[in-house]
Amino acid sequence: MNMKWKLMIFFLISSLLLTNLPQKVEASVSVSARNAILMEQETGRVLFEKAAHEKRRIASITKIMTAILAIESGRLDEMVKVSNEAVVTEGSSLYLKPNEKIKLEDLVYGLMLRSGNDAAVAIAEHVGGSLEGFVFLMNQKAEEIGMVNTHFNNPHGLDDSDNHYSTAYDMALLTKYAMENETFREISGTDEYRAPNPSEKWDRVWRNKNRLLTDLYDYCTGGKTGYTKLAKRTLVSTAQKGDMNLIAVTLNAPDDWNDHINMFEMGFRKYDMVQVVDDGMLSKVKDKFYKKRVFLAHEYSFPVTEREKEQFHIELVLEKPKDEWKETGTAPAVVGKAIIYFSDKPIKELPIYFEQEGEQKPSMFERIKNLFTAMTGVRTNG
């Protein structure tokens, strides 16, 4: 065999070996962004990432924090008097007028849909008492959520400070938190909003700048756009298909619309939400006292690829029944926990409830109360 044929066979075998090597799911996505992440919303599992923990300028996706703080203030029905400082804020604007009064709820819509920097300042001054007071609240909330590589210096994301930054991962955490709020979900997912205009005969009409939501991607449920000269294009978006909800974040992404669509499509194609445990009575309990008396109040699902579906196992940890429990036939509401493992790592703990004789299962309120009681000290990292 001559050298030419030997080389051809060598390259053919090499190509076949490379083709059949197991590939990471992430390798199937190409993004223009410098930093990117795709996260499953319910569990927080990261399905794709690219330099997701690098600190970067984030531009107007900052306003997700501004919006959720305004919503959580419980003051959306209040009227806000717009200051001159708010009116002269540079960049994208709702064109508010000095001293006009506008409902806080309307400002939040204008903030999220049209990215009004004047709205951001007006919200901050009203909710925080001052810009400085509101920035303090922003950083306090960031710490609470677990955004360890984030620092806010303003409510809008303008390039007025080197001390205003976050990461793709931290912004996904923030969005995960915000999407748990029904009002935020509604505002973020609104195509168009009308707000009264006190000095004109017509309403203000704001159409969402998020083109994924308005015309590019049928499964998009919301998000926030951003751009400054230093941050470049930034984008947070959310999407739902079936029982799966995804969060995508890109920083400095020239082709962000397609980046997000490609990440979403990969996630929906490669992953399924697998129900790991059912709610209801636990059948695999050996202790006679607990048999047919202990149950889980909630089911739990987790996103996995087809190859990962067999990598779960569940450990039931129950308190040893006390003599007085056996004598009375009763026990505390929560008597243990179910620890769910994926790939030999714990990913979730669920409280195990005890059903008292002659009583119905706890109400939803009681379950939530008992859940917080049972988990105290367990999730110290939030």
Residue 132: beta bridge partners?
none
The amino acid sitting at 175 is T
Please give the Cα distance from 116 to 109 (Å, whole number): 9
Q: CA 233 to CA 356: how far, in whole Å?
A: 57
60 is catalytic: yes
Q: Looking at this protein, which amino acid is placed at residue 268?
A: F
Q: Angle, nearest 10°, between helix axes 117-128 and 131-145?
A: 90
| Cα–Cα nearest to 181, from 327, 94, 280, 69 | 69
Which residues in 223-241 are b (16+ Cβ under 10 Å) and which e? bbbbbbeebbbbbbbbbbe
What count of other Cβ atoms lies within 10 Å of the Cβ of residue 214?
14
What CA–CA distance (Å, rounded) separates 42 from 148? 20
Helices and strands, number each (H, E), in the chain: 12, 16
Report the alpha-carbon distance of residue 186 to residue 195 in Å, rounded: 16
Sequence-separated (6 or more) residues with CB below 8 Å from residue 79 = 101, 102, 103, 104
User: Kind of pairing, strands 232-241 and 334-342?
Assistant: unpaired
Spatial separation of the C-alpha atoms in residues 243 and 238, rounded to whole Å: 13
29 and 233 in contact (C-beta within 8 Å)? no
Active-site option among 50, 60, 232, 337: 60
Reduced to 3 states (helix: H, G, I; strand: E, B; else coil), residue 360 is coil
User: What is each CA distance from 183 to 71, 88, 243, in whole angstroms?
Assistant: 7, 29, 20
Q: Which of 50, 92, 115, 224 is labelled catalytic?
A: 115
Q: How many beta carbons lie within 10 A of that of residue 33, not counting itself?
A: 25
- Secondary structure class of 5 (helix, strand, coil): helix
Considering 50, 63, 209, 337, which one is annotated as catalytic? Answer: 63
**What residues are annotated to the active site?**
60, 63, 115
